[in-house]
């Protein structure tokens, strides 16, 4: 079992407030690909604070949310309509479900944290033979000066080669190889952010410091510098690409 969810302890409120939602086009793509009606049995894995779950509820009558981080799960339960969700405090690779009972498994901004081999084995057991998997990411895309500065800062903060490398490199390798026959569908948009929303977006990252960390204030100063350099009418426009990988496994 992995414990990546512990990296988000103390970040649930910032995550809920700062992470961008998912475009309605992504849900439409899922519906058109699967043909599932609102009564389908849907499990949203690594559901976090329920951002993508909320989009799923625009079509599906009921969604099971699976999340190992208790803080994230509590925020999701508070924000989503109670009668339309069932919450599971469990990992994505071993949540409890009867064999051959699930129509659709989704994972938004989460699959890269899973043990892929364990997940595939378990999902194949609980999905119906006609079931689908949809893996979704929102990417901050450096297609504008603001986007370039933000991605550069996140890369520096992360201390890794690139904050985008996981999804971009995996799009033609690990993710599509997870499916028997999968496809990649993309939706581009600009997402307006206030200064506080930009704070929350950065601070919700697994590698961002918490308020009691000695680097916290310098991170806030850097966020403010980026915002002030690019804001128009107190908003910055975040270039965003939503990637949907969908198919059967």
pLDDT in tens, the chain (249 residues): 444 444 455 555 656 555 678 999 999 999 999 999 999 999 999 999 999 999 999 999 999 999 999 988 999 999 999 999 999 999 999 999 999 999 999 999 889 888 999 999 999 999 999 999 999 998 877 789 999 999 889 888 877 434 444 444 445 577 999 999 899 999 999 989 999 999 988 887 877 888 888 989 999 999 999 999 999 999 999 998 999 999 999
Secondary structure of the chain: what % helix, strand, coil (to 5)? 40, 25, 35
* C-alpha closest to that of 47 among 26, 71, 28: 71
Query: What is the pLDDT, as a whole number, of residue 201?
Result: 87
* C-alpha closest to that of 42 among 32, 53, 33: 53
**Phi and psi dihedrals of 81, rounded to 5?**
-65, 120
Q: Which residues contact 242 (CB under 8 A, 6 or more apart)?
A: 22, 23, 25, 26, 136, 137, 138, 139, 186, 187, 188, 189
Domains of the chain, with CATH numbers?
4-142+163-190+240-248 (3.40.50.150)
Distance separating alpha carbons of residues 89 and 85, to the nearest angstrom: 13
Distance separating alpha carbons of residues 163 and 188, to the nearest angstrom: 18
Distance separating alpha carbons of residues 239 and 141, to the nearest angstrom: 5
Q: Does residue 85 sit in helix, strand or coil?
A: strand
The model's pTM: 0.83
Task: Return the H-helix or E-strand segment holding 133.
Answer: strand 127-140
Query: What is the pLDDT, as a whole number, of residue 143?
Result: 85
Query: What is the pLDDT, as a whole number, of residue 166?
Result: 43
Q: Which residues contact 173 (CB under 8 A, 6 or more apart)?
A: none
Q: Which residue bears the tokens 């194949």?
A: 124
CB 131 within 8 A of CB 35: no
């Amino acid at each position: 079992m992995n414990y990546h969810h512990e990296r988000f302890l103390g970040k649930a409120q910032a995550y809920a407030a700062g992470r961008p939602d998912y475009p309605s086009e992504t849900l439409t793509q899922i519906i058109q690909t699967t043909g599932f009606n609102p009564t389908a049995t849907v499990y949203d894995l690594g559901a976090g604070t329920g951002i993508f779950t909320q989009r799923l509820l625009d079509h599906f009558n009921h969604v099971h949310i699976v999340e190992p981080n208790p803080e994230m799960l509590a925020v999701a339960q508070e924000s989503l309509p109670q009668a339309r969700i069932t919450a599971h405090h469990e990992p994505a690779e071993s949540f409890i479900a009867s064999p051959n009972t699930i129509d659709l498994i989704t994972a938004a901004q989460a699959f890269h944290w899973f043990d892929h081999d364990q997940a595939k084995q378990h999902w194949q057991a609980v999905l119906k033979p006609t079931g689908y998997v949809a893996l979704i990411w929102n990417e901050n895309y450096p297609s504008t000066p603001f986007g370039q500065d933000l991605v550069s800062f996140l890369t520096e903060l992360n201390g890794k080669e690139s904050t985008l490398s996981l999804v971009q490199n995996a799009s033609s390798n690990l993710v599509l190889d997870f499916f028997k026959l999968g496809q990649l569908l993309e939706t581009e948009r600009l997402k307006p952010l206030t200064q506080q929303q930009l704070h929350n977006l950065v601070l919700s990252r697994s590698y961002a410091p918490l308020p009691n960390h000695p680097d916290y204030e310098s991170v806030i100063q850097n966020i403010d510098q980026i915002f002030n350099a690019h804001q128009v009418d107190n908003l910055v426009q975040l270039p965003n690409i939503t990637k949907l990988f969908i198919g059967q496994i």
